[in-house]
C-alpha cells in the first residue's frame, strides 16, 4: 500500500514561507487569496494493510521523525495501490 503524509505548519506558528508565497500571489493580482501555508508531502510504500496497528506505526513515525509536534501538524492517506 502507499502512504502519503502531509505535514503543515501549525496555524498558531508563524509560517515565513507561506507569508512570502502569499505576497508573491498578491503581487500577481490575486487579491482574493489569503492564508497561504507551505508544508511538505512525504510518500512511501509500506507492507501490510490499513489496520489500527499499521496506523499506530505510521503515527509514531509522523510524531517523532516526519513532523515536529511543537510547530507542525500532520495527516496521512493510505491507498491500496
Q: Identify which of residues 14 and 28 has a Cβ nearer to another protein in the complex.
A: 14
Q: What angle do CA 17, 19, 21 make, to 5 degrees?
A: 70
The answer to whether residues 29 and 60 touch, using CB atoms and an 8 Å cutoff, is no
d(CA 81, CA 1): 6
28 forms part of the interface with another protein (CB under 8 A) = no
Q: Identify which of residues 28 and 70 has a Cβ nearer to another protein in the complex.
A: 70
Number of residues that bind another protein (CB under 8 A): 14
Binding site for another protein (CB under 8 A): 9, 12-14, 16-17, 19-20, 64-66, 68, 70-71
Amino acid at each position: 500500500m502507499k502512504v502519503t503524509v502531509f505535514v503543515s505548519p501549525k496555524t498558531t506558528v508563524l509560517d515565513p514561507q507561506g507569508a512570502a508565497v502569499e505576497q508573491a500571489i498578491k503581487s500577481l493580482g490575486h487579491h482574493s487569496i489569503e492564508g497561504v501555508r507551505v508544508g511538505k508531502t512525504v510518500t512511501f510504500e509500506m507492507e501490510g494493510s490499513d489496520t489500527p496497528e499499521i496506523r499506530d506505526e505510521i503515527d509514531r513515525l509522523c510524531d517523532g521523525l516526519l513532523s515536529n509536534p511543537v510547530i507542525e501538524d500532520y495527516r496521512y492517506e493510505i491507498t491500496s495501490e
